[in-house]
Amino acid sequence: MEARPIPTTIPGPAGGRNGAAPDDAPPQRRHVPGEPGLWVLLLGEMTVFAVLFGVFMHSRNEQPALYAQQQLELHRNFGGINTLLLLTSSLAVVIGLHAIRRQLPRLARASIAAAMLCGAAFLANKYLEWSSLLNHHHNPHGDNFFLYFFVLTGLHAFHVLIGMGVLTAVLMLARKPLLSKTQSAFVEGGTCFWHMVDLLWVVLFALLYLVH
Amino acid sequence: MTTEALPTATQPPPAHTRSPHGGWLAEFRIDPRLMRLFVYSGLLNVAAVGIGFALLMHMVPPPSPTWSKMQTLHWVQQHRTSILIGALICTFFWCFFVTWMAPILLYIRRMERTPLLTTAGVLLVAGGGAVITMIAVAWTIMAFRAEDATTVQTFLDLGFFLFLYTWPGFALVMVIIAIAIFQNVHPTPILPRWLAYYNLFAAMAMAPASFMGLFKTGPLAYDGVLSFWLVCIDFFTWMIVMTIVMLKAIRKDEQRLQQI
C-alpha cells in the first residue's frame, strides 16, 4: 500500500516528484505512520498484552482439562461477530484515511463514522455476552478460565472505549479541508491505535474461543 | 534622508524563537548542579525499593492475600526486626519522590503559558508524597504490633492498598506531563514528544491495580501479575526513564546558559 502523506497546510520538503532534486540529495526518509513517538505507546501496549497472553497460556497448561471444558461454555457466535465487526471497522478506517489523503471529506466522515458504529456494536455485543455468562453463573470469581476471560476481554473493551474517543477526534478533523502537520500525524496515529485494538482482539479471539 | 533603522547587535531575536514568557521564566537560569541533585534523589527512592522493600521487608514476591491471620502473624514475627528496618529506610527515602518531581514540574511550567498543568501537578505531587510516606508507616505498625493477628493482617493489607491502589494520582501526573509536551508553547522543544506517548502508556499500564479489592487470588490480587508486578515494573521503570531524560534536558539547558 502506498504511504501517501495527508495534505497539510505546511509545505513539505523541497524537491520531490516535481522539484529538480540534485543527484547528491539525501535519500527520502521512510514515512512513519503517525509520528515515531506514538510507537512507544503502541508497542508498549502490545508488549503488555503479549505478557498477559503468555500468563494465560501458562495458566492454561496447568489446568488443560478445565480450560477445554470451560471454553465450551463460551458462545463462539459472540466472538465471531465481534471479530467481523472489528475487521470491518479496520477496513472502514483504512478507507477513511485514504479519503482524507485524497481530500474527499464526505467519504472520510462516512467511513470513520461507520468504524465507530462497528466499535459501538462490538461493545453492545460484549455487554450481551457478559450478561449471558453472568446469568449462567460464570463470573471472574468462579475459576481461572473465566477469571482470565473477564480480565482480558475487560481490558480490551477498555481499549475499545479509548479507541472510540480517538476516532471521535479523527472524525472531527476529517471535516477540515487541510490539516496541520500535527493534526495529520494525529489522524494517522489514531487509525494506527484502532488497528492495534483490532489486532489484539484477533489474538484474543483465537486464544479464548478457538485454541484447544 | 532615509528612515530605515540601522541594524544593531541588540536587536530582539526573531519572533519564532522568542520565549512566550517574561521575567525569570524567559531567562530560566537554572542551577544545573542543584537540579541534578534533585533528579538523582529519585534514584534513592528506587534504591529503597530494592534494599528496604524487597531485601529487608521480604515483600518481593509479596505475601499472599489468601494467607490466614495466623499465617500472616507468623510470617511477620519471623521477619519482625528486618521489616522494621526496611520500613524505616522506605519511609525516609520514598519522600524523595517530591524532590525528584520538582525539576519536572519546573519544566512543565516552562512548557505552558498559564500555570494550570503546573498547579495540578504540584497538588498531585504533594498529595502523592503524603501517600508514599504513609505506605511504610502502615507496615511499621504491622511489625510493631506483631502479637495481634487481626491488626497485623489489617495493616499488611493497608500497606499494599496504599502502595498500589493509590495509582490514579500518579497516573494523572504522567498524563499532565504528556499534555504539557503536546501543548508545549516554548519555541524549542524542552522534552521529546515520544516521552509524552511513553507517559500515556505508563499511566494506562497501572490501571489494573484498581481491581485489587475484588480479588484475593489471580493476576489482579495484590500479589498478582497485573496488580503488583506490572504496576511496580511500570512505575519504577518510568522513574528511571524520566531521570535519564531530565538529566539530558538539564545538560541542554546548561549548554544554553554557557552560550549567554
Q: What's the CA gap between A114 and A123, in Å, rounded?
A: 14
Q: How far is the CA of B232 from the CAs of A59, B50, B60, in angstroms?
A: 22, 11, 11
Tell me, what's the pLDDT at A5? Answer: 63
Across the range B181-209, mean pLDDT stands at: 92
Q: Report CB contact under 8 Å: A40, B207.
A: no
**Contact yes or no for A48/A200 (Cβ under 8 A):** no
Across the range B56-71, mean pLDDT stands at: 96
Tell me, what's the pLDDT at A20? Answer: 40
Neighbours of A124 (CB within 10 A): 11
Q: What's the CA gap between A167 and B241, in Å, rounded?
A: 30
Query: A158: which chain B residues are within 8 Å (Cβ-Cβ)?
Result: 207
* Region for residue B21 given its phi and psi (left: phi exceeds 0; alpha: psi -120 to 50; beta: otherwise): beta
Phi, psi of A91 (to 5 degrees): -65, -45
- Higher-pLDDT residue of B260 and B234 is B234
Instruction: For chain B, give the percent of residues with pLDDT over 90.
Output: 80
Confidence of residue B11 (pLDDT cuts 50, 70, 90): low
**A147 and B CB contact within 8 Å:** yes
Tell me, what's the pLDDT at B112? Answer: 94
pLDDT digits (tens, 9 = 90+) for A49-61: 999 999 899 989 9
Tell me, what's the pLDDT at B49? Answer: 92
Q: What's the CA gap between B158 and B168, in Å, rounded?
A: 17
pLDDT digits (tens, 9 = 90+) for B103-124: 999 999 999 999 999 999 999 9
Grid cell at residue A193? 491505535
Chain A, residues 168-207, CB within 8 A of chain B, namely none
What angle is formed at CA B45 by the lines to CA B145 and CA B255, rounded to 5 degrees? 165
**A155 and B CB contact within 8 Å:** yes
Specify the DSSP class assigned to residue A72. Answer: T
Across the range A130-153, mean pLDDT stands at: 89
Confidence of residue B146 (pLDDT cuts 50, 70, 90): very high
**Contact yes or no for B120/B172 (Cβ under 8 A):** yes
Confidence of residue B257 (pLDDT cuts 50, 70, 90): confident
Structure-derived torsion over alpha carbons of residues B60, B66, B67, B73, reported in degrees to the nearest 10: 80
Task: Indicate which of A49, A52, A151 best probes the interface with B, i.e. most B CBs within 10 Å of its own CB.
Answer: A151
Confidence of residue B132 (pLDDT cuts 50, 70, 90): very high
Q: Interface pTM (ipTM) of the complex?
A: 0.79
- Point out the residue among A38, A55, A158 whose CB comes nearest to the CB of B225: A55
Res. B46: pLDDT tops 70: yes
Res. A144: pLDDT tops 90: no
The average confidence (pLDDT) of chain A is 87
Q: How far is the CA of B129 from the CAs of A142, B134, B170, B212, in angstroms?
A: 38, 9, 10, 22
pLDDT digits (tens, 9 = 90+) for A82-128: 999 999 999 999 999 999 999 899 999 999 999 999 999 999 999 99
**Contact yes or no for B38/B102 (Cβ under 8 A):** yes
Neighbours of B131 (CB within 10 A): 16
Q: Report CB contact under 8 Å: B201, A140.
A: no
Phi, psi of A179 (to 5 degrees): -110, 150
Axis crossing angle, helix B80-94 with helix B32-48, rounded to the nearest 10:
160
The amino acid at A24: D
Name every residue whose Cβ is closer than 8 Å to that of residue A163 and which is 6 or more positions away in sequence.
Answer: A119, A193, A194, A197
The average confidence (pLDDT) of chain B is 91
Res. A146: pLDDT tops 60: yes
- Higher-pLDDT residue of A207 and A175 is A207
What angle is formed at CA A161 by the lines to CA A57 and CA A88, rounded to 5 degrees? 80
Greatest alpha-carbon span in chain B: 99
The amino acid at A7: P
Q: What's the CA gap between B237 and B241, in Å, rounded?
A: 6
Residue B202 to chain A, least CA–CA distance (Å): 9
Query: B225: which chain A residues are within 8 Å (Cβ-Cβ)?
Result: 51-52, 55
Specify the DSSP class assigned to residue B204. Answer: H
Confidence of residue B5 (pLDDT cuts 50, 70, 90): very low
Tell me, what's the pLDDT at B218? Answer: 86
**A48 and B CB contact within 8 Å:** yes
pLDDT digits (tens, 9 = 90+) for A23-49: 455 556 677 888 889 999 999 999 999
Res. A12: pLDDT tops 60: no
Confidence of residue B1 (pLDDT cuts 50, 70, 90): very low
Residue A56 to chain B, least CA–CA distance (Å): 10
Whole-prediction pTM value? Answer: 0.85
Res. B216: pLDDT tops 50: yes
Buried (b) or exposed (e) across A144-165, using 16+ Cβ within 10 A?
bbbbbbbbbbebbbebbeebbe
Neighbours of B98 (CB within 10 A): 21
Query: Chain B residue closest to A36 (CA)?
Result: B194
Grid cell at residue B93? 527515602
Across the range A192-198, mean pLDDT stands at: 97
Res. B74: pLDDT tops 90: yes
**Contact yes or no for B101/B125 (Cβ under 8 A):** yes
Tell me, what's the pLDDT at B3? Answer: 44
Tell me, what's the pLDDT at A27? Answer: 58
Query: A147: which chain B residues are within 8 Å (Cβ-Cβ)?
Result: 215, 218-219
Phi, psi of A8 (to 5 degrees): -120, 170
